[in-house]
Amino acid sequence: MYMVLECSMPTRHSACRYVLYHKSLFGGDGMAIKYIPEPFRIKVVEPLKMLTFQEREKKIAEAHNNVFYLRSEDVYIDLLTDSGTNAMSQFQWAGVMQGDEAYAGASSYFKLMDAAKDVFNYDYIQPVHQGRAAEKVLLPLFLGEGKFAISNMFFDTTRAHVILAGARPIDCVVEAALDPAKRAPFKGNMDVEKLERLIKEHTPEKIGLVVMTITNNSAGGQPVSIQNIKETAAICGKYAIPFSIDAARYAENAYFIQRDEAGCQNKSIKEIVREIFSYADMFTMSAKKDAIVNMGGLLGVRDGQKYGGLIQEIKSRCIEFEGLYTYGGLAGRDLEALAIGVYEGLDNNYLRYRVGQMEYLASRLDDAGIAYQAPVGGHGVFLDARAMFPHIPYYEYPAQALCVELYKEAGIRCCDIGSFMLGNDPDTGEQLKADFEFSRLAIPRRVYTQAHLDVIADAVIEVSKRAKNIKRGYKITWEPQILRHFQAHLEPIA
Ligand SMILES: *Cc1c(COP(=O)(O)O)cnc(C)c1O
């Protein structure tokens, strides 16, 4: 896809403003470019080591074939996650120096309150140290033995906290999401008809919470439309079930809405974010994603009047697990960086470049005929390992096999979002079959350059050429009970 670029002079405090047109739509003069260039330049560099193929073969074997055991210094391009791996801006680093490290009532806390209340428009905001801390504080207040939680798709830590609270998670994503080759907008959506069916089947009293994950991480960073959020909220309202947003990628989701949803092209990202959040009762958020920080999370409650009791319980539980409610497990400097990051994530030029990175990678895979969750989502490219290794069954973890091969090929670290990550049935102990076998190439924010993207694409293409010679997958030789993929040991099947 070629685009035309016009670049106004950068002002002192704002990034260069690009005006991009699809050439096919507008024609016109200007420089034709193949990708959207970085709207920043580099001020601090972090050197990388490059091992040989043989050295990497040895490293991954020593790591029990589990990428979480690799040392980061042995990784050339780290696509394990986009969580907390982002590059902060000069403004955020300047904020770090202004962190107020007081135990109670720090000025950094009030800065964060002003920013987060402005962006999300909620009455109560609770900082926590990361997303799963928000889940640990909130979920047991709605879930327990005999209850269910329904989501478009639960992320792994959210699913774990539903189970830890004694309840059972149910995924309810639209059919289109389950077919990686089917190109449709908003493949992250909730299947609202199925949602209503599930509520009636289990009875509304047993549904403790409905959770909308934006973007839908496990389905490939696929966005959810405003229309779908509205419809889901209406069903929750009808049956008096609380509605929560798992909001890690609030800005990327809003960008897709602005780009693709009818009637949203003239709304700002901030307006769209506020509208999304206006339909929910509460949210949990890992700020390590779209708020572009290395550590942090938020929990929000929209209506302080209606949920006054809940807010009190959140504060108490936060004190038990995270620390006083004015710091929530974070240093004052983290609160400062987050107060700036929640705004930086909303910048249209930045979001266009970020999603442009995914689109560029995807276009290289298209040229090579390599399958991925299409169209590409917001924070990474999710390779369809089932398509690359059709001969490896889910219980031999084809996506994990692809991760190991990519590390050997080019020192790229990515992770399995498939049956290896999903784990065993909590009731029967049997290996579950995941809806997908994805190897996720998560792209950290503002970290890797265009040249890195080409290395990634070339490595995937190389592995795909030798895929048929990789006959078998992996078996687990040791695993913990919950969230096993972080720690399990694997062995290639001979
Ligand atoms: C990352 C993430 C979480 C958990 O957040 P942490 O900060 O890693 O604890 C929860 N939900 C979604 C959708 C996520 O992407």
What angle, 0 to 180 degrees and rounded to 10, lies between the N-to-C axes of helices 269-278 and 107-120? 90
State yes or no: pLDDT of 434 exceeds 90: yes
Q: Is 485 a catalytic residue?
A: yes
pLDDT for res 483: 85
- Regarding whether 339 and 386 lie in a shared domain, the answer is no
Report the nearest-CA residue for atom 6 of ligand 1. 131
Contact yes or no for 331/97 (Cβ under 8 A): no
Whether 244 is in the pocket of ligand 1, judged by its Cβ within 6 Å, is no
Q: Is 21 a catalytic residue?
A: no
Report the nearest-CA residue for atom 1 of ligand 1. 286
pLDDT for res 29: 60
Whole-model pTM: value is 0.92
Confidence of residue 35 (pLDDT cuts 50, 70, 90): confident
pLDDT for res 443: 98
Q: Which is nearest to 214 in space by CA: 206, 225, 204, 205?
A: 225
pLDDT tens per residue, range 332-366: 999 999 999 999 999 999 999 999 999 999 999 99
- Regarding whether 360 and 334 lie in a shared domain, the answer is no
Sheet containing 3-7: give its strands across.
18-22, 3-7, 31-33
| The one catalytic residue among 74, 82, 156, 334 | 156
Q: Is 68 a catalytic residue?
A: no
Confidence of residue 32 (pLDDT cuts 50, 70, 90): low
pLDDT tens per residue, range 402-412: 999 999 999 99
Query: For the ranges 3-7, 183-187, 444-448, which has the lowest average pLDDT?
Result: 3-7
- Regarding whether 47 and 107 lie in a shared domain, the answer is no
- Regarding whether 102 and 65 lie in a shared domain, the answer is no
Strands (E), 256-392: 282-286, 297-301, 380-384
| C-alpha span between 221 and 358 (Å, rounded) | 11
pLDDT for res 28: 56
| C-alpha span between 306 and 333 (Å, rounded) | 33
Confidence of residue 228 (pLDDT cuts 50, 70, 90): very high
Report the nearest-CA residue for atom 14 of ligand 1. 248
pLDDT for res 11: 31
3-state secondary structure of 424: strand
Q: Which is nearest to 325 in space by CA: 126, 134, 107?
A: 126
Contact yes or no for 276/254 (Cβ under 8 A): yes
In this prediction, residues 454-464 reach a mean pLDDT of: 98
Domain termination site, one of 344, 376, 396: 344
Contact yes or no for 16/10 (Cβ under 8 A): yes
Q: Which is nearest to 341 in space by CA: 95, 137, 44, 18?
A: 95
pLDDT for res 25: 37
Q: Is 156 a catalytic residue?
A: yes
- Regarding whether 363 and 339 lie in a shared domain, the answer is no
Q: Which is nearest to 310 in space by CA: 70, 52, 123?
A: 123
| C-alpha span between 125 and 325 (Å, rounded) | 10
37 residue type, one letter:
P
First to last CA, the chain: 43
Domain termination site, one of 344, 374, 395: 344
Residue 350 maps to a domain: no
Query: For the ranges 2-6, 228-232, 264-268, 314-318, which has the lowest average pLDDT?
Result: 2-6
Number of domains in the chain: 2
Average pLDDT taken over every residue of the chain: 93
Alpha helices per DSSP H over 279-321: 308-321
- Regarding whether 433 and 484 lie in a shared domain, the answer is yes
Residue 34 maps to a domain: no
Q: What is the CATH number of the domain that holds 448?
A: 3.90.1150.10
Q: What is the CATH number of the domain that holds 328?
A: 3.40.640.10
- Regarding whether 330 and 297 lie in a shared domain, the answer is yes
Q: What is the chain's length?
A: 494
State yes or no: pLDDT of 21 exceeds 50: no
State yes or no: pLDDT of 4 exceeds 90: no
Site to probe by mutation for ligand 1, drawn from 151, 153, 161, 286 as the one with most ligand atoms within 8 Å of Cβ, is 286
- Regarding whether 377 and 240 lie in a shared domain, the answer is no
- Regarding whether 73 and 102 lie in a shared domain, the answer is no
Domain termination site, one of 289, 309, 344: 344
Residue 28 maps to a domain: no
Residues 6 or more apart whose CB falls under 8 angstroms from that of 389 comprise 398, 401, 402, 467, 470, 473
pLDDT tens per residue, range 50-108: 999 999 999 999 999 999 999 999 999 999 999 999 999 999 999 999 999 999 999 99
Q: Which is nearest to 235 in space by CA: 278, 275, 190, 276?
A: 190
By residue range, what is the domain housing residue 467?
A: 43-82+356-492
Ligand 1 centre and the CA of 197: distance in Å? 28
Residues 6 or more apart whose CB falls under 8 angstroms from that of 452 comprise 77
pLDDT tens per residue, range 230-243: 999 999 999 999 99
Residue 20 maps to a domain: no
Whether 83 is in the pocket of ligand 1, judged by its Cβ within 6 Å, is yes
Residue 15 maps to a domain: no
Q: Which is nearest to 127 in space by CA: 299, 282, 247?
A: 299
